[in-house]
Amino acid sequence: MGDARHGDRQRWIETAQVAAGDAIRATWERVERLGTIGPRSRRARAFRRFGSGSAICFPVAALYGEEYIELGAGCIIGPYCSLSAGVMPGQVLDHSPVVTIGDRVLIGKGSGIVGHHTVEIGDDVFTGHHVYITDANHGYEDRSLPLGKQFAPTRPVRIGSGSWLGHGTVVLPGSDIGRNVAVGAGSVVTGALPDFSVAVGNPARVIRRYVDGEGWVRVDAAEHAADHAADQAAGDG
C-alpha cells in the first residue's frame, strides 16, 4: 500500500512539473510578444525613423540614442541585442542619423550595433547570432590611462545591401562591405570588401569573387599579398 501511495505521489509531482513548465513557457512567450518594440510602441516614437512592420525583439540588452537611429521597414532585431548611438544615454550628437538600417534587415540574437558617427546598413542584410558592428574603438595613446578611458577617432562603417554576416562576425571602424558579400562565421572585418565576394578570417580576406563573363573565381594567396602590399603603401603615403 505504501509503495502504491508513493507511486501515485510521484506521478502527481511529475504531472504538476509538466503543467508548470508548460505554463512558464506560455507566459514567457506572451511576455516576449508584449515586450517586443513595434511601430506602434511608445519607445518606437523616440526613433528618428521606425519603419512599418519592423520589430525589436524582447528582451533588449541595451537601447539608447534612438533619436539618431533610423530603422527601415520590415526589419527584425533579434532578442538580447544592443542598438545605440553615442557613448551613453542622453548624449547630444552633432548630426543625425548616426545609425541607418535599411529595409528588410535581420539582425541575429545577441548582436550589437554601436554607432558614434556613421554606421550604414543597406537593405536585405542578414546576420547570424552574436555579430558586433561599430564605427569606434578604444585608443592607446597614453600608457598612464586605462584603455577604457581612451578613444580612437571614429571611422565610418558601411554594409552593402544584400550581404550576409555569419555568426560571431565583428565589423570594425573603417569597414566598407560591398553589395551581396558573404562574410564567414567568426571573421573580423577591418577594411573594404568588394561587391559580390566571399570573405573569411581575421582579418577578413576575400577568397572568392564573381567576375562578369567568368562566374565565381578563387582569389589566391599571391593576390592577397599584392593587396596587402598596396594597403601598406597607401598607409605609408
Give the active site residues.
138
* Cα dihedral across residues 41, 122, 209, 114: positive or negative: negative
Instruction: In whole angstroms, give the CA distance from residue 70 to residue 102.
Output: 8
| Ramachandran quadrant class, 10 (left: phi over 0; alpha: psi -120 to 50; beta: rest) | alpha
* Start-end of H helices in the chain: 2-35, 221-236
Q: In sequence order, what are the residues at sequence separation of 6 or more whose Cβ sits closer than 8 angstroms to the Cβ of residue 26?
A: none
Peptide bond into 194 cis (omega under 30): no
